[in-house]
Structure formats: structure tokens, C-alpha cells
């Protein structure tokens, strides 16, 4: 078995014709036919049903083999691209927009990326989901990192969302609070506390739809200043809620704070990932960065 054979069966499956596959591969019809016959003999199965004047149609076994062949060639191409990044030093710029909470998750990846590719200029900005999508569509940023929510996907714009990780809403309390002894907190308990919130649409929506129905919520203040939120919790003035990965390994929230599960049936996993235009291929710089980010977190 060799890569050429895998490429031939994929081409035949696309066109339904050995002749067309041979023309596209710039070899003779007999060479394609012989190559596929040798592969069938090696595997011990027929990959296509074919006869004179009729199209070549994959057998059931052939369909499985062809799908596996596509996966193999895709991985090989990814490997070649990865190796190319080390043979040819990347240069240019990478503009990243992210929702504020997970900003700390980018730091290590950015630092290592910059060390390996010093000629790449990196710009990172914190924005809301709607602004991130607008910036992607107007080519103001190369990578948009955000919580994936159908509400923020404009209709008919051919955007692609690819998840990097999943998180869930949790509660952050002062380590000296009685609540810090709990393994989980219910909405009925949460609404009895003073709450400070990060000014984020996802957080506000969660509060409105899943917490407010249990009673009046005592909101001390809403802000986009994480230091103010952290201070309020450290002083025991309030609790807050947020996505667990916003707190994980975040030095802003490591002092005087404990993270506790929020026990509510509506607390489903929330995916965090990146958005790009479907019909515009990502730059090699963006591809390498996203691959490293995914591995790092």
C-alpha cells in the first residue's frame, strides 16, 4: 500500500470514473486500474464495482477504506504543514480578539509562540462576542476566541466555529465564607448572597434565565473590572459567578477565593472556541497558533 494508491481511490470515488481519475492524476488509465487492483488484492476486498460504459461505484467495503484514506492523507498534509513552519520561519502579524475571561489562558501560548517565531507581531484585544464577530467579518482580526453561542451567529454569513474547550458556570466565594465548605451551591442559596458580576452577555443571560426565576437577585454591582470583582470577594462583600476556565490558573482569582459548582439543571457545558470565515482559509500563522493553543490548554 502506498500514498498514490490512496489518492487514486479517492479521485475515482469523487469522479466515479477511472478515466477521469487518470486524467486528473496525469497518468495512464491502465496505471490507475492496475494500482487499484493491486490494492484490492492486498486488502482482500473489492473497492469498486465497475464495468465497461458504467461509472465506478464504491462497494460498502470500499466506502470505509476511502474514508480512512481521506483521513490518512489529511493527517499527512497537516504533518507537512507543521514541518514547513520549522523549515520556513513565520513572519507577519497575528491579530487576536478574545472575550475577557479566558485571556490568561493565552499567555503561555503567546510567549512560546513569540520565542519560536520572533518575526510575528502579535496583537491581542479583549472584546465582546458581537464585536468579535463583526471584526472577523470586516477582516480587522485574524482569530476570534469566544464562547460559542447561537445567539451571536449572524444568519447567512458562512462563519465556522471550532471549539477549543468546554466550561461550565461556577460560583466563586471568599475562602472564609460558610459557603466555602459546600461542594455545590443551588440557585436558592445563591440568591441570598450579594453578587458581583462581570459585564458579559453570557453571564447576564445565564442569571436572567436560570437564577432570577428562583427569586429576587441581590446584585451589588456589574463591572468589566476584574480587580474590583476580586476585591469584593476577598473582602467577603459578595460572591460571583463565571465560567470555570476563567478562574482556572488565573492569578487574578487565586488569592482568598474558592470555586464551587453551581447545582442547577440548566448548567450545561458551554463551548469556548475560535471563529473564522468559512470561505476564507486561515493563514499559516493562525493555524499554527490555534494548534498550539489547543494543545496548551
With contact defined as beta carbons under 8 Å apart, do 45 and 62 qualify?
yes
CA atoms of 285 and 293, how far apart (whole Å): 12
With contact defined as beta carbons under 8 Å apart, do 241 and 172 qualify?
yes
Pairing relationship of beta strands 184-185 and 257-262 according to DSSP bridges = parallel
26: buried, middle or exposed (CB in 10 Å: 19+, 13-18, 0-12)? exposed
The helix (run of H) or strand (run of E) holding residue 230 is helix 226-234
- 109-113 — which CB contacts under 8 Å span 24+ positions? 109/289, 109/292, 109/293, 109/296, 109/297, 112/292, 112/296, 113/288, 113/289, 113/292
Pairing relationship of beta strands 169-174 and 257-262 according to DSSP bridges = antiparallel
CA atoms of 232 and 221, how far apart (whole Å): 10
- Over its length of 297 residues, how does the chain's per-residue pLDDT go in tens digits? 898 999 999 999 888 888 888 888 889 888 988 999 999 999 999 999 877 655 888 999 999 999 999 989 888 877 876 676 665 577 889 999 998 777 778 888 899 999 888 989 999 998 888 888 888 888 899 999 988 765 555 554 667 888 888 888 999 999 999 999 999 999 999 999 999 998 887 888 889 988 999 999 999 999 988 889 888 998 999 999 988 888 876 665 656 789 999 998 877 888 888 888 777 777 888 888 988 888 877
| Cut 0.75: pTM above it | no
CA atoms of 278 and 157, how far apart (whole Å): 9
Query: 3-class SS at 2?
Result: coil
Per-residue pLDDT at 155: 55
Query: 3-class SS at 108?
Result: helix
Question: Which positions ≥6 away from 254 have C-beta within 8 Å?
Answer: none
Q: Say how many C-beta atoms besides its own lie within 10 A of residue 64's C-beta.
A: 13
For the chain, domains (ranges, CATH) are 3-86 (1.10.10.10), 90-165+272-296 (3.40.190.10), 169-268 (3.40.190.10)
Question: At CA 270, angle to CA 267 and CA 166, rounded to 5?
Answer: 120
CA atoms of 67 and 46, how far apart (whole Å): 15
DSSP β-bridge partners for residue 276: 160
Per-residue pLDDT at 252: 59
Amino acid at each position: 500500500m502506498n500514498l498514490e494508491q490512496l489518492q487514486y481511490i479517492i479521485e475515482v470515488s469523487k469522479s466515479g470514473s477511472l478515466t477521469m481519475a487518470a486524467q486528473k492524476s496525469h497518468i495512464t488509465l491502465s496505471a490507475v486500474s492496475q494500482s487499484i487492483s493491486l490494492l484490492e488484492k492486498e486488502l482482500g476486498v473489492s473497492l469498486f464495482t465497475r464495468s465497461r460504459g458504467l461509472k465506478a461505484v464504491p462497494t460498502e467495503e470500499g466506502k470505509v477504506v476511502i474514508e480512512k484514506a481521506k483521513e490518512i492523507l489529511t493527517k499527512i498534509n497537516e504533518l507537512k504543514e507543521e514541518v514547513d513552519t520549522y523549515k520556513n520561519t513565520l513572519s507577519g502579524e497575528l491579530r487576536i480578539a478574545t472575550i475577557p475571561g479566558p485571556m490568561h489562558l493565552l499567555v503561555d501560548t503567546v510567549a512560546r509562540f513569540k520565542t519560536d517565531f520572533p518575526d510575528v507581531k502579535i496583537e491581542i484585544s479583549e472584546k465582546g462576542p458581537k464585536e468579535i464577530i463583526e471584526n472577523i467579518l470586516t477582516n480587522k482580526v485574524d482569530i476570534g476566541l469566544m464562547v460559542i453561542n447561537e445567539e451571536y451567529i449572524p444568519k447567512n454569513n458562512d462563519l465556522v466555529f471550532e471549539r477549543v474547550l468546554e466550561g461550565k458556570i461556577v460560583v466563586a466565594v471568599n475562602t472564609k465564607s460558610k459557603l466555602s465548605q459546600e461542594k455545590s451551591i443551588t440557585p436558592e442559596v445563591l440568591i441570598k448572597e450579594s453578587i458581583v458580576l462581570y459585564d458579559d452577555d453570557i453571564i447576564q443571560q445565564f442569571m436572567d434565565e436560570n437564577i432570577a426565576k428562583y427569586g429576587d437577585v441581590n446584585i451589588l454591582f456589574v463591572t468589566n473590572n476584574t480587580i474590583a470583582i476580586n476585591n469584593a470577594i476577598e473582602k467577603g462583600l459578595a460572591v460571583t459567578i463565571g465560567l470555570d476556565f476563567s478562574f482556572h490558573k488565573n492569578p487574578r482569582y487565586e488569592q482568598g477565593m474558592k470555586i464551587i459548582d453551581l447545582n442547577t439543571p440548566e448548567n450545561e457545558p458551554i463551548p469556548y472556541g475560535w471563529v473564522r470565515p468559512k470561505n476564507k482559509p486561515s493563514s499559516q500563522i493562525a493555524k499554527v497558533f490555534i494548534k498550539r493553543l489547543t494543545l496548551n490548554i
